[in-house]
A and B are shown apart, each in its own frame.
Chain A
Amino acid sequence: MMSPNSLVSHRWLVPSLLGLLALTGSVLSFTLGGYGLLVMTLIALTTVVCSGLNILIGLSGQISFGHVAFYAIGAYISALMTMAGVPLVLAMASAAVVTAAVGALLAIPAVRVSGPYLAMVTIAFGFIVHHGLIEWRSLTGGANGLIGVPMPDTGSLPASTGLALMAVALMVASLLFFHRLSGSSCGRAIRSVKATEIAARSLGFNPIQTKTLAFALSALFAGLSGSLLSPLMMFINPDSFPFTQSILFVLAVIVGGAGTVFGPLLGAILIVLVPELLSSMAEMRLLLFAGVLLAVLWIAPTGALGVLQARFSKSERVIPRQQPDTNRLASFLTCDAGVPDGLRVKDIGIRFGGVQAAERVSFTAKPGSVTSIIGPNGAGKTTVLNMVSGFYAPDSGRIDLDSDLAGLPAWKIARAGIARTYQTTQLFAGLTVLENLLAGMQRGRLGDCWRKPDPRQVDIAMDLLALVGYRGSVHTLAEALPHVDRRLVEIARALALKPRVLLLDEPAAGLSRADTDQVTELLRTISGFGIAVILVEHDMTMVMSVSDRILVLDSGRPIAWGEPEEVRANPEVVKAYLGSTDYQAPPRPKAWDGSRDATLFVKDLLIDYGAAPVVEGASLVVNPGELIAILGANGAGKSSILQAIAGLHSASKGSVVLNNENIETLDANQIAGKGLALVPEGRQVFPELSVRDNLLMGAYSRADRADLDQDVDDILARFPRLKDRINSPAGLLSGGEQQMVAVGRGLMAKPSILLLDEPSLGLAPAMVAELYDALATLRDEGVTLLLVDQMANLALQVADRAYVLETGRVVHSGDAETLRNDPELEAAYLGENVA
């Protein structure tokens, strides 16, 4: 990726290149004559604008198609002031101040919108300024503009050389500023918000603040640059600042390499020099220029420097110590102003639309204790975390730490000392591991724009990483980390906030047993520092062993609150939480004995999403009419296998053979056409289409479209519940009904094999029973099925054979009967369901 910080390890690279640039620029200022000097000065000024825009695009992740307006405002201010006899330097300062202020003003509407909406706001701003300059005749000279802007008095030096030197100095300064900014605490704040606004807010950063700052800084550079343009051209008018120039600025930043220090320089050279080189083409010039731009975009869509940097930059490998300095950590983490009662949540509740997602939830989390929130899927656990951490404002109730925090924005709650992690990790991509922690340590403060990180802070960050057991390099970019490390670093980052309360949302999801044990140990250590730990987790072994108190939720309502033993013994809990284990699926009347001519044959599958492999060397066979289950803990790679088979992600290696035909290189829609249907996790119905249309969509790839109505009726006979809902939008159905629609939709394709991904996830026990009955019927009718379900005992009841996955590898396989009675499997996997 285009992180400015992969350059950090080359500590002297950027400064020495900047020195070289300053030297070259100065030499050229004295040696180039006339026109060449003018062009060089223009390149320098354009670089300044683009470097400013780079703050907005590269660091802050926003975009502006109105930057020429700031350039124009700077130019007009400087022209008006110098024409009134004010020295140029003073005029430049005024231009900088005014454009920064205007930039901050524009940020008011701009930070509220994103994507194309943001583009439109900036375009509109550009037009308003352009036409404002035309209509405000008394000040701006209207469309005629301002003529006779004086050149500065540069003593014995020719004015053009003086201006060139100033422009070069400004260029070097702007590039240096960008470099220092991106490594400073302020820059980290801006980049964090860009990477993931959600996590940034939960670390105390106020996105409005960082985005506004980025706008203001970026406008300031455009204004400064413009203030040198008017004395250079000695003339300005509104047409000197056309809309297309704004687009060219953005283009320069992107093709140069957004987020890189020198990208804007490269881009500026492109957009200034190429038209000059083409000038003799007269009327052909714009045509050719457009062609050149397209070619550059095609060759380097992520920017020339981005491409080069990805190829050549290697960061220094720095690994945290094995053991943290416990004293230093203790003094960092232990709270001075302790809150003896810890976090007290009283009667909070929230509704989404018609659904009461949480109701009258109360609990306390004492300092130094671990409090767990458990409950079946969809019980509202994460909703409660989201209310406590400020992402949802509760409709009722109180959340007390020092004072009532209920309804405050996330960043304020974070600053009050509540840190959190996420189900799917939300590390700041583009920041290194160390920077992720340093960002946490800022507790939402912007800090300064210039200084490098304090060595003492780096030490503490290293200790925290050692504490969580991270063993990789601290200069690795967050997005390049393997799954386990992401979890660990995210916990370390939350600790860097110096929290009094730490919320952990399924920290063990996707971890192996050993890793989970390590995290369990870690939680004890963390609570040992006097932090109130609140844990949402499915892994019952972990919950039962680590928790001091447990809150059990069911359908948004608390049903039990107490110590682990109490909760475990509570019959209501057993019923709500483990109810589905009572279900007995109808067994196959007669054991499967069909053709061994495999319908689906998967061999040596390797799946990685750019980082560590998620699935490694998985092989499996599904014969016609078989029901095969793939089992394994959350994150073991089960779903990844199904998605790879269905063509949603391509596997890096291995082969998938469907009915004697290799399909691993085909796209999902082609695979669907070959008779493979996937009922995806989370159901993925088309929410605004009616149930009937959803079902009909399932038959899209079928060649014979004759008996569609009959087939729909068959599905309805299979799932009678859907009859009444046949014309309602599928999105309004309950989870279980949607699952039936999804299965029915899959069946409508008359597939030669049906893949089911976590069909029982989030369903009420009664629904699960109904669904599994239907699956058993399908099996008995001879439909070939490949089933993934976390509820292993459930899946094993209907399956003929099963494969057990652990961290991406097949560790067991065999017939369901044997596996069901395999104590080893129960210990390793079923532990969570029989806790």
Chain B
Amino acid sequence: MRLTTRIKHWFLPLAATGLLSLTSLAHADAPLKIGLVASLSGQSAKSGEAITRGLTIAIDEINAKGGILGRQVELLRRDDESNPNKGLLAARELVQREEVAVLFGGLDTPVSLAIVPLANQMKFPFMGVWAAGTPITQNGADENYVFRVSAVDELVDEALVQYGIDEFGMKKPGMVLINNPWGESNEKGFRHALESRDMEWAGIERVESNDIDMVPQLSRLKNAGADSLLMVANVSPSAQVVKSLDRMGWDVPIVSHWGPAGGRFSELAGENAAKVHFIQTFTFVENQQGKGADVMATLKQRYPEIKDLADVTPAVGIANAYDAMHLTALAIENAGSTEGQAIRKGYFAIDDYEGLIKNYSKPFSPEQPDALGPDDYLFTHFVDGRIVPVDR
């Protein structure tokens, strides 16, 4: 049975590391558990990996300083397979069976949206570090247990439209949106942003993440007189947009949500990748000194496969998760317990924290569950495989 040996070959070392980490943790007294429900397999697995790295670095730092409330912090991760039902199940398992103090959420807005009602009903803090869907934090609950250290679609869309006008003199943009809830959420945001400026748009084209040829959709926008593109899509379809533009020979400015940051966009899209200007909350290039450099060094040390900046994509996932974890540690310290309601108040009680993305000051309040706002966004593009801020 060659196959079984093959499985063994893969399985044994991995299982061994799993066992090791389990046994080493068993020695600590009652670790404080933090949960993560994110996409760890499949197309979005990279996002889960980035969040895991950000959280792990932060937790290592916290544990090195004695943990939270004197307890070592342990991270429990569950794969949601980008499926809301799986995510919801995993969230319930982590909260009800593992009794995690705080639950972190991943890339997919639908999964987070599925968990939100549960968080508010069962009163456990749910920290979003990626999914930007507006209604995740603005969920209408009287007592909102959902927090976020990430972008918010509504604000991002405002920022993208404004950037397009300022930088490219955009008058009639065409929208290229991925056909999923993320795209839907941004369609609303774009419409709102454009309508409030009395601007018209050339059209709204939806693309599927598996589309290979997007020439038809883009041709329609071109024929409708689009002078620029507003793009919301993951890295692969974003790259296909650029490649299809190349084939059409259409040179048009592209202002994009942060999808291209999710992978090796410049490799996938080719030389014209740099034309896509996209929004970020953080990039490592800019922060070569101070905290950014420290974190980068730690990352390289902890994950040997990281060799240079091109390997730390998506940086936002790492940075958001890193800051969110430290903020959460502060919140639990403030609360003095791991009880959900107390931690929620603990978040509001955070005063100042010098983070990776910025220096936070009173980041959370019952009216403001989002720690990041438009001032924290920056526009970037790919240069030589690295994300660098656009010179404005």
List residues of chain A with CB under 8 Å of any chain B CB. 33-36, 38-39, 42, 134, 137, 142-145, 147-148, 233-237, 239-240, 242, 276, 279-286, 288, 291
Contact = CB atoms under 8 A, between A and B. Distances in A.
Contacts of B18: 281, 284
Contacts of A291: 7, 11
B92 A34 contact: yes
Given A148-B117, A282-B79, A283-B41, A233 B88 contact: yes
A242 B113 contact: no
A148 to B, nearest CB: 6
Contact of B84 (A36, A235, A283): A235
A239 B179 CA distance: 13
Nearest to A294: B3
A480 B371 CA distance: 73
B311 interface: no
Contacts of A142: 181, 184
Nearest to A134: B179
Interface string B77-96: 11101111100111011001
Interface of B: 7, 11, 14, 18, 40-41, 45, 48, 76-79, 81-85, 88-90, 92-93, 96-97, 110, 113-114, 117-118, 179-181, 184-185
Contacts of A134: 179
Given A144-B110, A147-B114, A38 B89 contact: yes
B79 A286 contact: yes
Given A38-B92, A134-B179, A239 B82 contact: yes
A283 B117 contact: no
8 contacts: A34-B97, A35-B96, A39-B89, A233-B88, A242-B83, A276-B89, A279-B93, A291-B7
A721 B48 CA distance: 75
The dominant DSSP class at the B interface is helix
Contacts of A237: 84, 110, 114, 181
B84 A279 contact: no
A261 B82 CA distance: 34
A286 B92 contact: no
Contacts of A236: 84-85
A709 B267 CA distance: 60
Contacts, number: 89
A750 B117 CA distance: 80
What 5 pairs across the A-B complex have the smallest Cβ distances?
Answer: A34-B96, A283-B40, A35-B96, A240-B85, A282-B77
Contacts of B110: 143-145, 237, 239
B49 to A, nearest CB: 8
B179 A143 contact: yes
Contacts of A38: 89, 92
Contact of B92 (A35, A143, A242): A35
B208 to A, nearest CB: 10
B184 A147 contact: no
Given A239-B83, A283-B48, A288-B11, 18 more contacts: A38-B89, A38-B92, A137-B184, A142-B184, A144-B185, A145-B110, A147-B117, A148-B117, A235-B84, A235-B88, A235-B117, A239-B85, A279-B90, A282-B77, A283-B41, A283-B45, A283-B79, A286-B79
A281 B11 CA distance: 12
A144 B97 contact: no
Contacts of B88: 233, 235
A140 to B, nearest CB: 12
B81 A286 contact: yes
Residue of A242, A283, A288 with most partner-chain B CB within 10 A: A283
A280 B76 contact: yes
Residue of A39, A142, A147, A282 with most partner-chain B CB within 10 A: A282
Contacts of A281: 18
Contact of A284 (B14, B48, B97): B14
A283 B50 CA distance: 13
A247 to B, nearest CB: 14
A235 B41 CA distance: 23
Residue of A42, A148, A280 with most partner-chain B CB within 10 A: A280
A39 B85 CA distance: 12
A276 B96 CA distance: 14
Contacts of A145: 84, 110
Contacts of B93: 35, 276, 279
A148 B11 CA distance: 41
B325 to A, nearest CB: 17
A258 B63 CA distance: 52
A279 B40 CA distance: 11
Given A279-B93, A283-B48, A286-B79, A239 B117 contact: no
A240 B7 contact: no
A35 B97 CA distance: 7
Contacts of B11: 288, 291
Nearest to B76: A280
A235 B114 contact: yes
A68 to B, nearest CB: 11
A293 to B, nearest CB: 13
Given A38-B92, A281-B18, A143 B81 contact: no
Contacts of B45: 283
A284 B48 CA distance: 13
A234 B119 CA distance: 13
Contacts of B118: 234
Contact of B184 (A143, A148, A240, A282): A143
